[in-house]
């Protein structure tokens, strides 16, 4: 029962699943770097020899006003459904770059994955694809920990930042006990990290065995998804990397396990100790949260935003964890991030 709850927690800390509804990407510009085609996707070679796969949406890079890197979450990929319309991308002349993080999709795994390596991958990807001295970064769910690392390590490269339904690591020292004492997710995250780190074989067996229901029936668990989320999941293929067929591939399992351990393990910094990256108010950092989110409590997001006055907090009243499946919310996220055009329905003032 404890192991099943641990697996449930991992299921709850997801990004977004593959849903092949995105428009075809524009052609990649000619680059004086090592770009190779693997399957249908280009891949860029990093300085350590690994390759990262990516896809492009929106207007061509050389005609864009805004260049945005989207960081997918747990068990997701560059094929995630970020439901920004092509009309909006054309109107604002937005270039979107969505890449497979290390070990996901068509990107090579990184056995040395860390907070630092995730930020380094983003910076190197931006440099090799010539996105300029500054670029926007948008992280989703568990994909927000690389974004926090960017805020810590390369704030001078960030034109603006959006963290969408960002997960919370209960090991951050500045989180108050009174907000977490009755939150069962705190204990489950600790036990899940321990099992993933010290008993990977047991976890792999549980996720791939056929005697008892495990991952294949948990991705629509109402414990972790709101009513609106469950409606979304009726029309999507679910979390493809968490199927038993995918998890039987030990390289897939190991990449997911390492990602979870880094995200929920001990960090070398506390996000609430990060300095304001925009002291001249030249840009903003945004958090977008669903009030009905069952994966990350909105109370913790409000607390963090109250302690970091340079964060602009947005809350979707009926939103769950799958906010980026909502095209209206996606448009609001991009307009707020790029134009500082905040939709009044989603603005929530938090006391500092």
Res. 235 pLDDT band, cuts 50 70 90:
confident
Highest mean pLDDT, choosing among 79-83, 228-232, 305-309? 305-309
pLDDT at residue 219, rounded to an integer: 54
Q: Does 17 score more than 60 pLDDT?
A: no
- pLDDT tens for 85-126 read 999 999 999 999 999 999 998 999 999 999 999 999 999 999
Res. 36 pLDDT band, cuts 50 70 90:
low
pLDDT at residue 210, rounded to an integer: 65
Average of per-residue pLDDT across 144-155: 98
Instruction: Tell the CATH topology of 1-352.
Output: Rossmann fold (3.40.50)
User: What is the spatial order of strands in the sheet that 94-99 belongs to?
Assistant: 35-38, 41-45, 51-58, 94-99, 66-71, 135-140, 158-164, 285-290, 311-316
| Element (DSSP H or E) covering residue 145 | helix 144-153
- Kindly list the distances between the CA atom of residue 350 and the CA atoms of 266, 310, 315, in Å, as whole numbers in the listed order: 28, 12, 11
- pLDDT tens for 72-89 read 998 888 988 888 999 999
Q: Does 216 score more than 50 pLDDT?
A: no
Cα gap 116→153, rounded to integer Å:
8
For the chain, what are the domain ranges? 1-352
Cross-strand partners of 80: 18
pLDDT at residue 207, rounded to an integer: 74
pLDDT at residue 38, rounded to an integer: 56
């Amino acid at each position: 029962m404890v192991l099943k709850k641990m697996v449930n927690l991992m299921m709850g800390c997801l990004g977004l699943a593959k849903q092949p509804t995105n428009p075809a990407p524009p052609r990649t510009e000619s680059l004086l770097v090592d770009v190779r085609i693997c399957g249908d996707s280009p891949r860029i070679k990093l300085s350590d020899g690994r390759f990262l796969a990516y896809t492009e949406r929106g207007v061509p890079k050389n005609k864009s006003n805004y260049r945005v890197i989207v960081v997918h979450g747990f068990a997701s990929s560059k094929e995630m459904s970020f439901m920004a319309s092509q009309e909006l991308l054309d109107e604002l002349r937005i270039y979107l770059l969505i890449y497979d993080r290390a070990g996901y999709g068509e990107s090579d795994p990184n056995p040395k994955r860390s907070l630092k390596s995730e930020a380094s991958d983003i910076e190197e990807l931006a440099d090799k694809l010539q996105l300029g001295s500054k670029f926007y970064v948008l992280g989703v769910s568990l994909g927000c920990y690389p974004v926090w690392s960017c805020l810590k390590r390369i704030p001078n490269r960030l034109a603006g930042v959006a963290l969408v339904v960002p997960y919370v690591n209960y090991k951050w020292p500045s989180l108050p006990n009174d907000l977490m004492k009755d939150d069962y997710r705190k204990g489950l995250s600790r036990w899940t990290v321990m099992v993933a780190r010290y008993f990977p074989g047991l976890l792999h067996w549980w996720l791939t065995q056929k005697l008892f229901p495990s991952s294949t029936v948990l991705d629509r668990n109402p414990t972790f998804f709101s009513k609106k989320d469950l409606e979304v999941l009726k029309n999507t293929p679910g979390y493809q990397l968490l199927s038993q067929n995918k998890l039987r591939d030990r390289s897939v399992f190991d990449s997911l396990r390492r990602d979870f351990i880094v995200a929920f393990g001990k960090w070398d910094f506390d996000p609430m100790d990060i300095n304001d990256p925009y002291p001249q108010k030249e840009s903003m950092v945004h958090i977008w949260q669903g009030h009905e989110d069952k994966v990350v409590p909105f109370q913790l997001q409000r607390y963090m935003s109250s302690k970091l006055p340079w964060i602009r907090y947005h809350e979707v009243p009926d939103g769950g964890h799958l906010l980026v499946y909502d095209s209206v919310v996606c448009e609001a996220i991009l307009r707020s991030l790029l134009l500082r055009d905040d939709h009044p329905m989603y603005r929530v003032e938090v006391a500092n």
